[in-house]
Amino acid sequence: MPIQQNKPWTKEDDRRLLDMQAAGRSIPSLAAALKRSAGAVTGRIAALRSRAKVEAKGGPDVSEENAI
């Protein structure tokens, strides 16, 4: 079981996730590196993409308090 279960994602976690994904690492590799489940990694990537789309359209700025 992943060590980070139910622990909130930090900005540093997000940065590491996106950097490793951009480098072409697989979901299982990302999950292992971040000590998260593959489902958590997949969900976080989807959430970050969704947030980026909203921000690109000039949508509301998501504060750290409301971060996923």
15, part of any domain: yes
Please check the confidence at residue 67 and state whether its pLDDT lies above 60: no
What confidence tens digit (pLDDT) does each residue in 28-62 have? 999 999 999 999 999 999 999 999 888 888 866 55
Q: What is the pLDDT of residue 14?
A: 97
d(C-alpha 57, C-alpha 68), whole Å: 19
Radius of gyration over every alpha carbon of the chain, rounded to an integer in angstroms: 12
31, part of any domain: yes
2, part of any domain: no
Tell me how many domains the chain contains.
Answer: 1
63, part of any domain: no
Q: What are phi and psi of 24, to 5 degrees?
A: 90, 15
4, part of any domain: no
41, part of any domain: yes
39, part of any domain: yes
Q: What is the largest CA-CA distance in the chain?
A: 39
What confidence tens digit (pLDDT) does each residue in 7-26 have? 899 999 999 999 999 999 99
Name the residue range of residue 37's domain. 11-58
Q: What is the pLDDT of residue 55?
A: 85
